[in-house]
Amino acid sequence: MTETAPRPIYRITDLSADDRPRERLEKLGAQSLANAELIAILLRVGVPGENAVQVGQRLLQKFGGISGLHRAPFEELLNEHGIGEAKAAQVKAAIELGRRLALEAPEERPTINSPADAAALVSYEMSGLEQEHLRVLLLDTRNHVLDIVEVYKGSVNSSQVHVGELFKPAIRRNASAIIVAHNHPSGDPTPSPDDVAVTRAIVQAGKLLSVDVLDHIVIGQGRWVSLKERGLGFI
């Protein structure tokens, strides 16, 4: 007697009730679900040949996890099979809410105790950017991160970066200190003469505004450099 092969599972409803992400979330809590299952709840339905969990797994693999999805351009998500504007927006919004929650809860805010701590917060995302981006980590009096704000995109040089604009987020949030970070798309984090000149201008402006500039981190591919540790631009 010929055995019938099991039918492929293309829909969430084809899964047993105990394996469906929404039901598992209700019974066990969101923390018990894998990333692909959480994404599946956002997507709701899959595509022919893939259920929503499998689509979630594909997205995570393609973009390199949650951080990769966060930094992926919206248009690039739309190029993925089964991802329209609504689904792309839901994924982007959910990840951004998670990022903001981590910064909003004082007891859960990251604390910067070293250049490595600052680099760890931004290096994964910034190392893959195709253009130079300059971001500012806003810190309170205990070096808790209040927010991470992108203030500039383009060539980071002393003639184009407006130092006054860089301090606006810090003043609005009443931050007591900042750390500046920018990436080198070439992958080489070696500071350029312009990086040193910009750092010097930022440090001087911080003294005038009573905002401590703790460091300037240059992000490369898998590497980073602290200008403060190298004594570049800091007097």
Mind listing the pLDDT tens digit for each residue in 87-105? 999 999 998 888 777 666 6
Give the pLDDT score at 107. 59
Please state the rounded mean pLDDT for residues 33-59: 88
The pLDDT value recorded for residue 8 is: 47
Cβ-based neighbours of 56, under 8 Å, separated by 6 or more? 35, 36, 37, 38, 39, 40, 43
In this prediction, residue 89 carries a pLDDT of 94
224-226 sheet: strands from edge to edge? 145-153, 133-139, 177-183, 212-219, 224-226
Report the CATH architecture of 107-230: 3-Layer(aba) Sandwich (3.40)
**Range 134-146 average pLDDT:** 93
What is the DSSP annotation of 175-189?
A: -SEEEEEEE-TTS--
> Out of 35-39, 123-127, 132-136, 198-202, which region has the weakest mean confidence (pLDDT)?
123-127
What was the pLDDT predicted at 215? Answer: 97
- pLDDT over 70 percentage in the chain: 87
Element (H, E) at 150: strand 145-153
Of residues 224 and 48, the one with the higher pLDDT is: 224
pTM over 0.75: no
pLDDT at 10: 47
Tell me the pLDDT tens digit for each residue of 25-34: 888 888 778 8
For the domain with range 12-104, which CATH number is right: 2.20.28, 3.40.109, 3.80.10, 1.10.150? 1.10.150
The predicted model gives 37-51 an average pLDDT of 87
**Burial, 227: exposed, middle or buried (Cβ in 10 Å; 0-12, 13-18, 19+)?**
buried
Q: What is the mean pLDDT of the chain?
A: 84
- pLDDT tens for residues 63-80? 888 878 888 889 999 999
Hey, which bits of 156-223 come out as E strands? 177-183, 212-219
Residue ranges of domains in the chain: 12-104, 107-230
